[in-house]
């Protein structure tokens, strides 16, 4: 029994240990910044919680490397529809609203995380399976609309919550997978045009929550309401700007210590990095992300099948967009959303699903070659 839980030496030779080391470095660097952002109010409790998530993530990563990822094709429907059911329950019975977004599931007095994080991973696996079944023929109209249907179901349920950030993430996951699968660029262009038209229609309808509008408008002109809707962005920019090249030093950030930046341990964790570690720390972090993304793209390119390739592209898409959007919103070049910084921001559901996605890509990378035992 225990032998089945061991990874063979031949497979271990194919495992990219450098990627795992980078993941651990980013996770631990995130935990340090979480401690800096929360120790004045919570002592070390939030820091300890994040360390527990990191340890749990390591265990989950190991178990996800044991089995052959291709086995997931047989369970893709179960994983996908389980995620959809969780979203339905989240939208109806167990809904809990945090900062205007109803994406949190709460049973009784216990908040158990964001089902949309799991549903996002389920959507990636399902789209990858369908494309593999279709032998990559995405430009066949029947195949294309089948894929659109599977993408639309969880996205509509996430819009209903509402959760603008996760809706954007899912859209760019689908865009990345469709583009990599070879969808006709004209179709992608018409898709963008349709999305823009849809946004224009929804903007003036009850479907667009008022707080979404406020966030978008505050991004365009944060100085118009520095003590209200623009507070978070203005204080973030002050913190990052004051960090300079080398930063103020660990635990020495005045914007962070003073509590001037709301959600500095979650959505705005990059502000802590900028203030305390400066441009040097920001460059260090973004370089690590860049190396990971490069490795994952290479795995997607060399995967032995369409299923593995599309899963890798899905993980690359969600990681790349989340990084660019999160960093962008802290410096004022993209709208403020609830998108976390992968492996850095505090939170169990986002951290664990990030680890699961990364583990899947590494699993695919391990099994690119035929191993003779």
Q: Which residues pair with 95 in a beta bridge?
A: 105
pLDDT, one tens digit per residue, over 97-128 is 555 555 556 565 556 668 888 999 999 999 99
| Core vs surface per residue 59-91: b (16+ CB within 10 A) or e | eebeebbeeebeebeeebeebbeebbebbeebb
pLDDT, one tens digit per residue, over 39-50 is 888 888 999 999
Neighbour tally for 230: CB within 10 Å:
22
Counting every residue written for the chain, the total comes to 373
What is the pTM assigned to this prediction? Answer: 0.90
Q: Where are the domains of the chain?
A: 6-366
pLDDT, residue 275, reads 93
pLDDT, one tens digit per residue, over 207-232 is 666 766 776 677 766 766 666 667 77
pLDDT, residue 227, reads 62
Which residues of the chain register pLDDT less than 50? 371-373
DSSP 8-state class, residue 335: -
| Residues contacting 241, CB < 8 A, separation 6+ | 274
| Residues contacting 334, CB < 8 A, separation 6+ | 219, 324, 325, 328
pLDDT, residue 308, reads 95
The DSSP result for 29-65, as a single string, is: HHHHHHHHHHHHHHTTHHHHHHHHHHHHHHHHHHHHH
Helices (H), the chain: 9-14, 17-42, 45-66, 76-92, 115-133, 141-160, 164-180, 185-203, 210-220, 231-243, 254-257, 269-302, 306-331, 348-366
Cβ-contact 218, 229 below 8 angstroms: yes
Name the token pair of 125: 């696996």
Cβ-contact 303, 364 below 8 angstroms: yes
The DSSP result for 206-250, as a single string, is: TTS-HHHHHHHHHHH-GGGGTTTTTHHHHHHHHHHHHHTTT-S-T
């Amino acid at each position: 029994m225990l032998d089945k839980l061991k990874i063979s030496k031949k497979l271990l030779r194919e495992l990219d240990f450098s990627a795992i080391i980078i993941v651990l470095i980013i996770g631990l660097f995130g935990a340090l910044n979480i401690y800096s952002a929360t120790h004045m109010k919570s002592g070390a409790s939030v820091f300890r919680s994040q360390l527990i998530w990191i340890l749990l993530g390591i265990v989950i990563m190991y178990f996800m490397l044991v089995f052959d990822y291709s086995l997931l094709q047989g369970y893709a429907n179960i994983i996908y529809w389980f995620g959809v059911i969780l979203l339905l329950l989240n939208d109806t019975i167990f809904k809990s609203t945090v900062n205007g977004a109803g994406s949190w599931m709460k049973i009784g007095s216990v908040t158990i995380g964001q089902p949309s994080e799991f549903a996002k991973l389920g959507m990636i696996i399902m789209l990858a399976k369908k494309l593999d079944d279709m032998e990559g023929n995405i430009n066949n109209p029947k195949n294309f609309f089948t894929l659109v249907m599977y993408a639309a179901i969880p996205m509509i349920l996430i819009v209903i919550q509402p959760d603008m950030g996760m809706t954007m993430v899912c859209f760019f996951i689908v865009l990345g997978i469709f583009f990599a699968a070879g969808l006709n660029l004209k179709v992608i262009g018409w898709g963008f045009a349709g999305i823009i038209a849809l946004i224009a229609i929804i903007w003036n309808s009850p479907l667009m929550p008022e707080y979404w509008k406020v966030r978008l408008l505050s991004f365009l002109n944060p100085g118009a309401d520095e003590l209200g809707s623009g507070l978070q962005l203005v204080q973030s920019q002050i913190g990052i700007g004051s960090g300079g090249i080398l930063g103020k030093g660990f635990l020495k950030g005045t914007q962070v210590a003073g509590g001037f930046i709301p959600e500095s341990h979650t959505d705005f964790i990059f502000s802590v990095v900028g203030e305390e570690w400066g441009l040097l720390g920001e460059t260090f972090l973004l370089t690590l992300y860049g190396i990971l993304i490069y490795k994952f793209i290479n795995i997607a390119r060399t995967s032995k099948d369409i299923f593995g390739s599309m899963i890798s592209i899905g993980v690359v898409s969600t990681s790349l967009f989340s990084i660019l959007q999160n960093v962008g919103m802290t410096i004022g070049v993209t709208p403020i959303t609830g998108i976390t910084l992968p492996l850095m921001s505090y939170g169990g559901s986002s951290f664990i699903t990030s680890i699961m996605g990364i583990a899947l890509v590494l699993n695919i990378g391990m099994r690119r070659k035929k191993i003779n035992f």
